[in-house]
Structure formats: C-alpha cells, structure tokens
Chains A and B, each alone.
Chain A
C-alpha cells in the first residue's frame, strides 16, 4: 500500500450526526437464525420429516407440519425482481437511501427478500450471504458470484467493518499477537493505529520496526490502571473507529493445586476488569462512528474452563460474559462487537504446549478478516474451531472432556 487513505477530520462546530440502527424486533426463530449467521454460516430451516427448506423462519414445516431444524444450505440463487427504495419512514434507512432490494429464488428452495448489491439486476446469478445488519440481526445480502466484486458498495459496507482509512486502538501492542495485529491493520490500510504499550517504556519498543511505521502511534496504556487508560484515550485526537482488545494474562496453574492467587487476580484485572474499563472508555467514542467496532480476542478455554490454566480460563470466561453484555449495550448504537477465539498461540506464553498452535500473524489476519466480513464470531486455528464445534454440539460432554 503506497497511498494511505487520509484520516477523517472532525468539524468541531458541526452537530454530531445521530446514529440509528436497522429495525430490530424479531421472532425467536429469527434470533436462532441470527445466532448462526453470527458464526458466518448460511443456514435455513429444513424439515426433519420431508426435507423441505423454508424461509422466513417458521415454527412448523409448511409442507407436512414436521419439525424444523437449522441446516447449512447452498447459498446460490437467482434474482427474480428488484427495486430501489427511495422513501422510507424508518430513520436508519432514511440515512442510507436509496436502498436496493430484490427477490431471490434460492437454489435451496425458498424465496427470499434480499439486500441487493448495486451491480446486480433481475436474471443475475448470485451468492446470498447471511450477514448481521446494523441492528445485529441476520439479513440476506445478495452479492455477485465469488470473485472480484466491488466491496465498496455502500449498502454492503453497512454490513461489514471497513479497515482502510479508520483509526484503530490496539490495547496491547507489545505482545507477539499485538505486534502482528498492528502490522495487519497497517497492511489493511488503517490510517492511524494507536498502539497501547504497558509501562514501563522500553527502548526495544521504540526500535521495533512495526511500531515505527508511519501510521502507528505508540501510547502508554495499562488496562489495569484507569488513569493510564484515560490518558491514552485523550491522546487520540479525533474519532476512534475500531478497538482491538489483545490484552490477556496467560499463566499455567490449577485451583487447589498450583494455583497462584496473585497471577489469578492479575488475569482477572487484565481480561475481565480490563475489558470493562476499556468498554467504558471507548464505548461512547465508538457509538458515534458510522462503522464502530470492538474486537475481543478470547481463549476458547473461556467456553469450558481448563484444569491446566484454571485462572486464565476463568478470567477469559468472565471476559466472554462481560463481552456478551457489552454487545447488548452497543447494539442500539450499531457498534459491532466481534469475538475472535483462539487456542494455544505460537508465542512466549505457550512454550511448553505441543502443537497445533496458532501463529500470531494468523490471529491478526483473522481479526482483520472478521472486521471486513462483519462476522460476529470467529475461531482461529484447529484447537479453537474444534472446541467451538464440540461445545455447540454437546456443552456438558465437552466441559467434562476438557477438564478430565
């Protein structure tokens, strides 16, 4: 990237733009669809008795009244008809008119009203993606077939978090993960990356090539210290679009055996209380932004606990719990809260853990991709993907297995 998108300037005299979100009332069945869309899946309800796929979500099969179950389905389809909406009584859509919608015959069977990419018209083959709208609910978005299509469609941008041209805060930029994230954000075209470095300040930080990149602004930031956080945020002159919370405190140890109270407390201070501090400080800043997002990096051990890293896993579980509440709070402001789960990392904290381990650069790439795809929940690497699959399938069994 040679020419970097300039940072957005803020007019100090202009009245702040009010942000609205897409209409949010949904049925319980639709929430079940959204929960799957959050994982990046394209699902429909399919009848257990007759195999009919149905949409919009129902509570009984319209063909035989059998039980419906969510299934991953083919996402291809064809546009039947289209319209460009030029008036709306809804405040969110009024801010984004004109808005294109169409009707698609899905290859899986049902018909769906879809958000229509600007390059599409009736008769076109499409790939329908199940994305979360600005209210956090699943929505069908018809895109041109995979390949090089125009990601700058303003409608599509409402469903994702563009990185180019944005100001991003990385809460812990000193760790191997943090450095990789800063590098990936730089490569993705972020216009300013505020890199948080916990004191004390070190010569090696000042000399690190990643932290010396032109778009990177190192700041002192310790999530366990309210004053440090406030000072760091005050140094971000201008709007803040994205926060990436890479802070974590990884230590081995059990509960009654090998448990270190000081380390456990530190893990909670960083992962749980730190998240709350960061959310309180950044939430209002993100709420005013057109594509505000907060990405939290979590251990997949947050799902079940871990006998070997009990304190760390407990702190990560607390963090996950706080994150769910934060997501709920930010939904009304249209700020996306993204969770990225990982297993053991190829870094200094997992020296004695056998592979598979995830390279920091891969975590960084997954974070950027989660933003650009608007995916609420991502698992990086085999360990986290396997953990999530097992946990979704049978949480009681997986919790037992994990702590044997």
Chain B
C-alpha cells in the first residue's frame, strides 16, 4: 500500500466560466478559447499578466497545442500543461493545477477547455481519433461512440438487471434540470414515452441516450484562498481527487471504470462519504456511464444501480441532484469542454452562482470525469470532491 496523498491545503477553485454553446460554429477553437478568457476577465478583473499557469484541453486546435495557445492568447505562464483526455480533462486539470499552486510553481492557474464544431467536423475527428480506432473500430460500421457505447450498454444490460426505463429516468431528470439553464441546447421536457419511442441509433442505444456534439468553452481558476478572497471571488476547497487510466484491462467489456480501483482511498482522503454529497456532476455521454459512475463512486453496490435509480430523485431539489445544468445530454457536448462542465457546474452550485436553479444548501459537490475511447472503452477516469469555502 503506497502512502496516502497529501491534502490540498492552500488551494482554492473559483471563477467558473461557460461560453454559451452552439450546435455548429464556423469559428475556431482558438476563438472559443478567446471568448472564455474575455468572459473570465469581465467576471473577475483578471488580466493576462495575472495568469501564471495555464492548463488547456481541446480536440480541435490542430496544428496548435497549449504552446500555440499561449502566444495566440498573449499568455506568459511559468507552468503549462496540455490535456488530451477529453471527458476526464476537467478533473485532471483541477488536480494538476491544485498541486502546482500548492507547491508554488504557479499562483493563478487558468484551466481552459475549448472546442469548435464545424459542420462535418465530427466525422473527421472520428476518423482520426486514435490508432486503435483507425485500425479496429471505425472500419466496423463507423458507428462512432454510439456503437462503442451500444456494445457496453448491451453487455451492462445483460450483466445487471437494468432496463431502458431506468436509463430513461436519468435522461429525463437531466432534461428537467436543463429546464432552468438558459444555456442548455435542449430544454424541452422529455417524457418517458418520448424517451422510449426515440429512434434506435445502435441497439440498445436510442436517440435520447446520445449527446449532441456542439461548440463551446468552459474555464475555471485554481489559486490560493488568499488570492481568491483578495479578489472577491467565491471559491471552493478540494477535499480529495483520484485519477486512473487503462484500469482493469483484462475486463472483457467495460462494466466498471477506473474509479472502482481507487474509491476507498478517495473517500478516506475526503473524510466524508457519498451520503454527504449535495450534488453529483458526472460525465454523461450515455446514461450507462452515469449508472456505472453511481456504482463505482460508492452510491450503491455494483449491480444494484437499477434499484438505486428507482428510489432516488435526481432533479435539482431531489435526493441526489444530478448534472444540474442538464449535463452533456441536455446542455450539449462541447468536445473537451464536455469534460470541464462537470467542474464548472459543481463549482457554481456550491459557490451559489448557478446558471439555472440553485441546489438548496449545496456545500459539497462530487465531480467525476470519464474520457477517451481509445479502442473499446473509456480509458481515462477521475473524480474530485469540492467543498465551498465560506
């Protein structure tokens, strides 16, 4: 057993920014990144000179990386990181930036994810996503993530007693939560009848199980509590984080994610348990992944998520407010920003700056990320607990 992680003393997370998503955008990812910085500056008064750390995530800046973005956006950071980890990039940016600040390598770290979505760019990004995908996934029907998660969903439904109605309850609750979020791309209420009647995409995945790709940007700042306070920024502390890649490689099908490898240590470090969580923000490209996270993060035993879903209310005023901005399923999946909106939304709820309705008395947010289907499963996972600094 290796030593426990050091606590995140002296770290504050603040200044959530979401540039309103668009289904399609003719602009570049650089443009979306610029909008996020402009919005951040307007909300916080921060300038390029103040930012001395920069962590960037995107799929669509080619040929640029975070390096190109520094010059493009006029940043001169003394700490730089680039995350190619999509849906896990928000949690990973948070925990890297937290250690940089804690150790004094940087003081104000900008964590930013931006992606554009041109017409037809989804097809191109699929075709060149990974070497294993090129060799062994896309030539097989070119169903994209829909097909990959259809296989996972099929196996999950065979292994555990869970129905489309259970998945539907998650999607419907998230759509209800999106109702109060003016930035969500899909806000019209979803009924179980409509969910079940959605056209099949890749059996058993149907229309309302799928995220809508879009353009957008999300950002937040990691700094010290003193700096946040001096600038008048409401902030949160980090209780614990985990991260794991290529977990359980011998599992024939992904029925669990990397969280399950580290979850004991995660709650030990946080000093709290799942029942203390006020709002849950998980990665949700497909509802099967939401269900998997509910299990693997410790809200119920493996295989019992259907019962948990049936007895739990996931709306903003419910027992476990879930993806309170609507999640990607309703707000849209803005590329790597889709892996940041769990952080920005969880942070917003506990610092009481929600985009839509406020989760009553929210103090603690659990954020979970999942990303990068390299071959047959999501490879990157991570989670973090944030608690409001008052």
Contacts and interface: CB of A to CB of B under 8 A. Distances in A.
A25 B122 CA distance: 17
B23 to A, nearest CB: 15
A25 B137 contact: no
A189 interface: no
A88 interface: yes
A90 interface: yes
A169 to B, nearest CB: 31
Contacts, number: 117
Contact of B134 (A25, A62, A81, A112): A25
B147 A25 contact: no
A360 to B, nearest CB: 38
A338 B30 CA distance: 49
B135 interface: yes
Contact of B151 (A27, A88, A101): A101
A87 B146 contact: yes
A25 B151 contact: no
Contact of A111 (B123, B152, B376): B376
Contacts of B144: 88-89
A86 B376 contact: no
A81 B158 contact: yes
Contacts of B132: 56
A133 interface: yes
B186 to A, nearest CB: 18
A114 B140 contact: yes
Given A25-B134, A57-B135, A105-B252, A83 B151 contact: yes
Contact of A81 (B139, B140, B155): B155
Interface in B126-182: 126-128, 131-132, 134-144, 146-147, 150-152, 154-155, 158
Contact-residue bracket for chain B: 35 or more
A156 to B, nearest CB: 14
A107 B73 CA distance: 53
B122 A89 contact: yes
A308 to B, nearest CB: 44
B376 A85 contact: no
A17 B143 CA distance: 23
Contact of B135 (A30, A100, A101, A102): A30
A29 to B, nearest CB: 8
Interface in B8-41: none
A103 B203 contact: no
A92 B152 CA distance: 25
B200 interface: yes
A226 interface: no
Contact of B253 (A56, A88, A103, A139): A103
A122 B135 contact: no
A86 B142 contact: no
A101 B134 CA distance: 16
B147 A101 contact: yes
B376 A89 contact: no
Contact of A99 (B134, B136, B141, B201): B141
A62 to B, nearest CB: 8
A149 interface: no
A175 B128 CA distance: 49
A85 B127 contact: no
A82 interface: yes
Interface string A97-118: 0011111010000011111000
A122 B140 CA distance: 17
Nearest to B250: A111
A80 interface: yes
Given A101-B141, A111-B376, A87 B134 contact: no
Nearest to B251: A111
Contacts of A133: 139
Interface in B102-132: 122-123, 126-128, 131-132
A202 interface: no
A87 B141 CA distance: 9
Interface in B37-64: none
Contacts of B142: 23, 85, 88-90, 92-93
A159 to B, nearest CB: 12
27 contacts: A22-B139, A27-B135, A55-B136, A56-B131, A56-B132, A56-B375, A80-B252, A81-B158, A83-B151, A83-B154, A83-B203, A84-B200, A86-B201, A87-B143, A88-B141, A88-B142, A90-B127, A90-B142, A102-B151, A103-B151, A111-B376, A113-B137, A113-B140, A114-B140, A115-B141, A133-B139, A139-B140
Given A83-B154, A88-B142, 17 more contacts: A26-B135, A30-B136, A56-B131, A56-B136, A80-B155, A80-B253, A81-B154, A82-B154, A87-B202, A89-B126, A90-B127, A90-B142, A99-B141, A103-B151, A103-B253, A113-B136, A122-B155
In the A-B complex, list the 7 residue pairs whose CB atoms are closest, starting with the nearest.
Answer: A90-B142, A83-B150, A85-B143, A56-B136, A81-B155, A99-B141, A89-B123
Interface of A: 22-23, 25-27, 29-30, 55-57, 62, 80-90, 92-93, 99-103, 105, 111-115, 122, 133, 135, 137, 139
